[in-house]
Structure 1
């Protein structure tokens, strides 16, 4: 019993000694790493060239360009460059000069030091010291958007104006041979049912197969409409007969017909008889026809689905 207790005590003391040793070893390692990272080092690493603000009418043919830059900085800064690919940003609105064949980037070490790096980083060398970005000419074109979606309203609801898309056109940029073939862009085919509130439905655009070679200003549009509660209205509209035979008197019946229409509740009081016009045209009669066909030649934009309830007008010609 005594021997067992003594053995456990010695084992515990030994384990504590090991733990203390490992702790001091860890501290020594951390101090060594900090000491190493605090020193300055020189190395050459490839920087990816990121091109920004390229004029829309041009396409850059040199798609992947790198710059080998020799830097001198302390170890903590080098960690950033080693764990993520570093890059140099080339702003085509101010950093390049254009000639007949290329955009030329020719910036000094001092310029890069002032714009791309902080004060703790020293640039020793840049290779190449000049980059020529070959370019081609793009075609910039605005094309309309065509709606392919179908909207079905809930009973008693409708739109008080036209369905529209925002934006109603798309700016297309790309090689002339491809962009010139694009006359319009269609939305995705979609059926929207039981609409009873204002419509604001995002719709994706359908692009040609060569989408990767052409740039589009947007990838989707919003289908919009002002939806309101509608009611049916009916008005008696006088019938007007035109192009009657010369030197003849035409008697016809009925003198007025019922015109039904749908209108939003907000606009119901604004619809009057003066907004409609019904005409019977003698010149549109067939030889064997003994009645006139009334036509609704005028209806207000506020009214939907306006129609005449009576499809024939009886007449007698007297001289």
Structure 2
């Protein structure tokens, strides 16, 4: 029992020694880090340009301009640049002037030192000393959205009405040379199979090359459509003769023709014979022709795949 107690005491002492050692080691490491960070270092850092107050009628075309700035400061300040991408603001109201097709910026050590860096940061060099921002005059243009779909419906189902996009158009803002060439924006392909319910799908737009120089009111749209159960309908429609000379009397057969169509169940009872019109134009009859060709000149918007059941109407001249 005494031996076990002695063993536990020795282990406890050893653990305390280890803990004290680790504490001293950690303290030494922290002191070393603070000692290093308190020293001054000189480095050159690539700063990106943050453009502010750009006049609305202009668009800056080259967004990838960078400014190399050589700074001298202590290590604590350099930590900030390690975690946050450094930027320098260029105010287009007061820091640049316009020359030819460029906005021109010249380095100003006093400006940067007084406004964008604190007193503990010393600027040693800025390269290049001049930046040129190429610009264009903005054109604001509204262009339609062109739908690109590949949709297969379930048997007995079909589209009821038109397929639309929301929004149906996009505002394009950019240099006249680029924006003026855009007449529409096409969607990515919306591919669906076995569809039997209403469609509401968000798809991306195919944006043109050099889109970094253009701004779009949106880069995606929602394609919507109503899908309903459809059935086939058939009606007998009277044949109407047109362009028959006043001094001529015709007898023709048949007097009415079957017209088949595809319609949603909801609209089936609303379709009436008066909604259709089938005509035979005597003015289109060639010499020695003994038949007329019926044409469907009117049918309701709610029907699809309308077909005439007979292609010829026989006739004879009785007067």
How does the TM-score come out when normalised to structure 2? 0.72
Q: CA deviation at 1:299?
A: 1.2
Q: Which residue of 2 aligns with 1:103?
A: 103
Larger displacement relative to structure 2 (74-83 or 19-28): 74-83
Give 1:135 deviation, angstroms: 0.6
Cα deviation code 1:38-64 (max 9, x no counterpart): x69686653522345766864534733
Shift of residue 25, structure 1, vs aligned partner: 3.5
Instruction: Note the 1:67-146 alignment, pairs <5 A.
Output: 67-68=68-69, 70=71, 76-90=76-90, 96-105=96-105, 124-125=122-123, 127=126, 131-137=130-136, 144-146=144-146
Query: Deviation per CA, 1:211-240, whole angstroms, max 9, x where unpaired?
Result: 678657365554432212223333332211
CA distance in 1, matches of 2:269, 2:106: 72
| 8 A contact 1:41–1:75 mirrored in 2 | yes
CA distance in 1, matches of 2:221, 2:94: 33
Contact 1:47/1:88, CA 8 A, preserved across alignment: no
**What is the distance in 2 between the residues matched to 1:116 and 1:259?**
79
Structure 1 distance, partners of 2:226, 2:119, is 59
Q: Which runs of 5+ in 1 are unaligned?
A: none
**Which piece of structure 1 moves more, 86-95 or 258-267?**
86-95
Is the 1:167–1:222 contact (alpha carbons within 8 Å) kept by the matching residues of 2?
Answer: yes
Contact 1:237-1:257 at 8 Å conserved across structures = yes
Cross-structure match for 2:258 = 258
Range with greater deviation from structure 2 (120-129 or 15-24): 120-129
SS of residue paired to 1:304: strand
State the shift of 1:297 in Å.
Answer: 0.4
Going from structure 1 to structure 2, the CA distance change for 1:5 and 1:284 (only over 3 Å counts) comes to: same
Quickly say closer, same or farther: Cα 1:121–1:266, change in 2 above 3 A. farther
Match of 2:65 in 1: 64
Structure 2, unmatched stretches of 5+, are none
With over 3 angstroms needed to count, the CA separation of the structure-2 counterparts of 1:122 and 1:270, relative to structure 1, is farther
Distance 2:204 2:310 in 1: 45
DSSP 3-state at the match of 1:133: strand
SS at match of 2:278: strand
Q: Do 1:165 and 1:223's aligned partners in 2 also have CA atoms closer than 8 Å?
A: yes
- The SS at the match of 1:68 is strand
Distance change >3 Å, CA 216–CA 108, structure 1 → 2:
closer
Asked if 1:311 corresponds to 2:315, the answer is no
1:16 Cα offset (Å):
3.3
Deviations 1:117-160 (A, max 9, x none): 7xx77665483697532315378566555444332222222222
What secondary structure does 1:26 align onto? helix
The answer for the alignment partner of 2:26 in structure 1 is 26
Contact 1:259–1:306 (CA under 8 A) maintained in structure 2 = yes
Secondary structure of 2:161 counterpart: coil
- Tell me what 1:277 maps to: 277
Q: For residues 297 and 270 of structure 1, what CA distance do their matches in structure 2 show?
A: 19
Structural RMSD (CA):
4.5
Tell me how far apart the structure 2 counterparts of residues 148 and 66 of structure 1 sit (CA, whole Å): 43
User: 2:248 maps to which residue?
Assistant: 248
Which deviates more, 156-165 or 87-96? 87-96
Whole-angstrom distance in 2 between the partners of 1:304 and 1:139: 45
- Gap change, CA 1:6 and 1:159, over 3 Å in 2: closer
Alignment CA distance shift 1:91-1:230 (3 Å)? farther
Q: 1:308 to 1:50 in 2, by over 3 A?
A: same
Larger mean Cα displacement after TM superposition, 288-297 or 44-53: 44-53
Query: How big is the shift at 1:164?
Result: 3.2
Equivalent position of 1:232 in the other structure: 232
Task: Say whether residues 1:296 and 2:293 are aligned partners.
Answer: no
Distance 1:272 1:84 in 2: 71
1:296 Cα deviation from its structure 2 partner: 0.4
Identify the range of structure 1 (19-28 vs 295-304) with the bigger mean alpha-carbon deviation. Answer: 19-28
- Matched-pair contact (CA < 8 Å) for 1:50–1:90: yes
